[in-house]
Amino acid sequence: MLDTDAYSGVSRGRTVVALAVLAVVASSVATVGAAASYPDPPDEPVSTTGEESTEAANESRPGVVQTVTYNRTPDRPGTIRATHRYRVGPNTSSVVVYDYDHTAIIGSEGFVRRSNGRWVWDGEVERPLLTFRIAVNQSGGVGEFAGLEWADTRRWSLSHPPVSFAYRTTARDGWVYSWRDTAAYERVVRVAGAGYDGGRVVYLGAHEISERTASGQRFRLVRPADGDGSAVEPDRVLDTLTAAAGQLDVGARDDVVNAFAGPAPLRTGGVTTPSRDGSQDFWVAANRTVGAPANLWVHEYVHTRQNFSLGPRMAWFREASATYYAGLLSVRQGLDGRSGFEAFVDRLRRNATANAVLTNRSTWGTAMVPYRKGARALAALDAKIRTASGDGRTLQDVFRRLNAADGQVTYDRFAAIVGNATGTNATAWLDARLDSPGPVAAPTSPWAYTAPDPSADADDDGLTAATERRLGTHPFDPDTDSDGLPDGLEERLGTDPTDPDTDDDSLPDGLELDMGTSPRIGDTDLDGFADGAELVSPSGPTDARSVPTRGAGLVPLFDRYTGGIAVLDLPRNATIARY
């Protein structure tokens, strides 16, 4: 879910062009991302004396350098303190700081408050500053994901603090806006005590950082220390994020992605903030595990890859695409195997929001419509594109063109892009599913969701998707017939990966391999008795001299083989054989 407070208007893309009071801008040149340790300053504004003595005047520097220092305030739960200090260049004539929401000025030096609530540099103090007390606890989200979106406790704080400002300089025409002209100023961020600044999201408190690089991106996972982030499995989170980075070929790739684990009392869900200068931040509830289909870590990552501006009739696409790809990419990663795929398809089958019209927000009875009907529509559209192009194109080709589009993406423009991907006019098809009420049918076949690359092996069973299709095995289940042998091994052994008992001797293939009997020959020792009958007689199924007692009447029946347990029709007091 994107941070809806960070934008003005309908568009919530990565590039902010409208005036947004709460737009948070990351460091232009010198943002300090790692944890820093400084002595806690007193509660009054921070003095500028000597703080920037090494910053000599330099004409090559931007017109303004903003230094932001964050402090926790344990004596005032629910708030943090931020000091914004400005080094004003010789050609700068005015600096304006906005009247931020959820903040109170507790100290100023060199700024004068105007009647409209803005603070304006007095033109005299060389290093003017403002100190804010920021109310962190703010709610957001929709439906099952509603609750606290930012929070401060006595142990930690996760916030999205405002830092926007504007200035005028004789070196440029007009005003310079920090949220838009990011190269025209410099920001230095400091954290008093333990903490981490991602550029948009700030975590204050004890924490741990894990890093990994993949597909040209550096991923940082920031999680609380002292038990608040104990549910987070760093390797699994980074595994799924880096895998998704390789799977999603839609452009709009940031150099750095900061993923924060948000502990309780933050709501269950996540928030992605706007991108800036090749870096993007998001948080996901620390209690959310990595799995299919509701993989919120991938959901928020998909948001970081959305660089489009959507028109009113396309507003549904943002959350619909994040939801669809969170499930699809997780399934293709093999998360939760066949059960993960079935959960994904089961969610797509539901039509609780069928009467909503995706292109008309006024018809949405719940804000969850894009997550539900929107995701179903995209699953159907993806299948249509793949079928029409012979797997040469997918929905990702449409996604990529949306990211590359100049200006706002309207519904008509979207229809034209889809038509280009399918090679036909798709307007009528889209109108029936996006611009009309009624259920939308998503594909249920696993082959609609495999990666287009025929060499892909989502279930890691040693068989490519092309081979699995030929054999009739399940592409998201490493052991299609649940006999204890991976499909790839069965192909090499010559057993049937779709039949748990290839030789019909009432013993599962996996159990036979464990016992030393042949899964391809019903009577391994050729003594005239089936291996299953010898097992329960008891007799030696690999020793022709050992045969069942005449008249025993023991005919074992293979009932099922799941989870590595063979359940047989055994005589009284016999035990279940375990593979």
The tens digit of pLDDT for each residue in 238-288 reads 999 999 999 999 999 999 999 999 999 999 899 999 987 789 999 999 999
7 φ/ψ angles, rounded to the nearest 5 degrees: -135, 155
Residue at token pair 């391999």: 513
Q: Which pLDDT does position 144 carry in this prediction?
A: 67
**What whole-number distance in Å separates Cα of residue 340 and Cα of residue 383?**
19
Q: Which two tokens stand for residue 326?
A: 């969170």
User: DSSP E strands: which ranges in 1-128?
Assistant: 64-72, 79-88, 92-97, 103-109, 111-113, 119-121
Percent of the chain with pLDDT over 70: 83
**Residue 392 in tokens:** 């040469």
Q: Which amino acid is at 51?
A: E
Could you give the C-alpha distances from 481 to 328, 338, 478, 524, in angstroms and in order? 23, 12, 9, 22
Residue 146 has pLDDT above 70, yes or no: yes
Averaged pLDDT for residues 556-576:
38
Residue type, 107: G
pLDDT band with cut points at 50, 70 and 90 for residue 326: very high
Give, in order, the Cα–Cα distances in Å from 465 to each of 128, 246, 578: 63, 18, 30
CA–CA distance from 257 to each of 47, 167, 443 (Å)?
A: 33, 29, 33
125-159 per-residue burial string, b: 16 or more CB within 10 A, e: under 16:
eebbbbbbbbbbbbebbbeebebbbbbbbebbbbb
Band of residue 142 on the pLDDT scale cut at 50, 70, 90: low
390, exposed or middle or buried, with CB in 10 Å at 0-12, 13-18, 19+?
Answer: exposed
Contact partners, residue 244, CB within 8 Å, separation at least 6: 298, 301, 302, 325, 329, 333
Would you place residue 186 in the very low, low, confident or very high pLDDT band (cuts 50, 70, 90)?
very high
Q: What is the DSSP string of 369-425?
A: HIIIIIHHHHHHHHHHHHHHTTTS--HHHHHHHHHH-SSEE-HHHHHHHHHHHHTS-
The 10 Å Cβ neighbour count of residue 445 is: 9
Q: Determine which of 18-27, 81-90, 295-304, 351-360 has the lowest per-residue pLDDT on average.
A: 18-27
Tokens at 565, concatenated: 């347990």
For residue 472, give both structure tokens.
């009739």
* Helices and strands (H, E) in the chain, number of each type: 13, 24
CA distance 404 to 252: 8
Q: What confidence category does residue 564 fall into, taking pLDDT thresholds of 50, 70 and 90? A: very low
In the chain, what's the furthest Cα-to-Cα distance?
110
pLDDT at 2: 56
Residue 293, preceding peptide bond in cis (omega within 30° of 0): yes
Mean pLDDT computed over every residue of the chain:
83
pLDDT in the model for residue 36: 30
Q: What is the pTM of this model?
A: 0.82
Residue 560 forms beta bridges with which residues?
A: 567
